[in-house]
Each structure stands twice: as C-alpha cells, then as structure tokens.
Amino acid sequence: MRYFFAIWIFSIVAVVSILGFRGDKSTRNPIYVFPDMDWQAKYLPQGQNEFFADGRNDRPVIPGTAGRGYGWDIKEVFSPDYTDPVSLNPTLYSGKDADGQWHRGFPIEVTDEVMHLGQQKFTIFCAVCHGAGGDGNGITKQFGMAATPTYHDDRIRGMAEGEIFNTITHGKNLMGAYGMKLRPEERWAVIAYVRALQLSHQVSIEDVPEQFKPELGL
C-alpha cells in the first residue's frame, strides 16, 4: 500500500512540476511540441517583405483586372461557359435599376410558389416583430420592444420594392440585416407577400374574382 501512495504522490508532484498550478503565470517560454504549427514559414497580411521595392507582403491589384465569381469552385468560375449571375440580373441582387434608382416591381416572376415561399419566410423571420398581418403587433411587442412600423401606412405602401429589398438585406434602425439568412429570391418573395398583406387591407367585395365569391358566401 505504501508503494501505491508513494507512486501517487510522485505522480502529483511530477504533474504539478511540469504543468504548474492552475491559473499560475510563468515568465518562461512555453514548450513547443510541434513548433512548425506555431512558427510557420508564411507571409502575413500587412507584413514586411524585403523582396519587393515597397517592402510590403500585400500586393496591389493589377490595373485593369476585375473580380470574377463569388465562390471557390475554380473550375466553374474560370470555365469558358461561366456566366456571372449578378451581371445577368443586377436588380435581383441590388434592388436598383440601371440608373441607380430603387426598382419598382419585381425582377422575378411572382407565382403561387413564390407567394407560398414568401409567406413561409415571412412567418419565420418577420412575423415575430411585424405581426402575422404586418400591422406591427408582433410577439416582441409584449416584451417591451419599441413599436414596429406597420406595413399598412401610406409611406410603406408607396415605397419602391427595391428599397424594401435593401432594408431586408442590410437592416435599418433596430432591424437587423437578413441578407445572410435569406437568398435574394427569398427576399423578393417576402416582399411579394408583404404586398399581398397590404392589398388585403384595401380590397372591397367588388375586387374579389367571381370564381371565389361562392367560397366566401357572396
């Protein structure tokens, strides 16, 4: 038994001697088991480099070059058949027309599938603050959050769809950005659903198509 305690005490002393007490600070250099992982032979950003005349690691972009593609798939980006989706439909990604003005209307075809997609994403990301009906009475209002604007005032009714797209993408005031959570097509789908919510507060019985009136008992 005494040998066990002797080995046990020796092990504790050895561990403490090598690793030190928890929380203690040491002025000695750490032990590098694999030094090449900490001291790699590489050029650091904004570092000095004696090879170039300006002494910088970072190299300026060659004049006349332009970025191509947004991914890491080199074979696809630099293939002869590659087309930049942003250049094919810039309004879809920016919300602006060619003259830099906010786009009115939609750069995608608004179908039933788009409306269902917009309703789904609106329920997930927007209704919590703006309310299911877009009136600003979301669940966050119950927890003391500042009043959320309603979609049913004249200011937002008259706002260009492209400006709404920009707000969803980058956020505004207390509203965070959703550009990283919703694809451009999904953002436009949400806007289409918002327009449907706005329309639902303005229509009359005369605006209901004849084929749907029997379902409403009209």
Q: What's the pLDDT tens digit per position in 127-166?
A: 999 989 988 888 877 776 777 888 998 999 999 999 999 9
In a domain, 132, yes or no: yes
End-to-end CA distance of the chain: 95
**Cα Rg for the chain, rounded, in angstroms?**
30
26-55 pLDDT, tens digit each: 777 777 777 777 778 788 888 888 888 999
User: What range defines the domain where residue 179 resides?
Assistant: 112-206
In a domain, 50, yes or no: no
In a domain, 76, yes or no: no
Spatial contact of 131 and 137, defined as CB atoms under 8 Å apart: yes
| Number of residues written out for the chain | 218
Q: Measured between alpha carbons, how far is 160 from 152 in angstroms, rounded to an integer?
A: 14
Q: Give me the pLDDT at residue 158, please.
A: 94
In a domain, 22, yes or no: no
171-206 pLDDT, tens digit each: 988 888 999 999 999 999 999 999 999 998 887 777
In a domain, 36, yes or no: no
In a domain, 179, yes or no: yes
In a domain, 134, yes or no: yes
In a domain, 136, yes or no: yes
Residue 166 carries which side chain, given as an amino acid letter? N
Spatial contact of 135 and 129, defined as CB atoms under 8 Å apart: no
CATH number at residue 193: 1.10.760.10
* Angle between helices 112-121 and 184-200 in degrees, nearest 10: 90
Q: Give me the pLDDT at residue 115, please.
A: 96
Q: 0.75 cut: is pTM over it?
A: no
Spatial contact of 181 and 106, defined as CB atoms under 8 Å apart: no
Q: Count how many domains the chain has.
A: 1
How far is CA 61 from each of CA 45, 65, 73, rounded to the nearest angstrom? Answer: 15, 7, 21
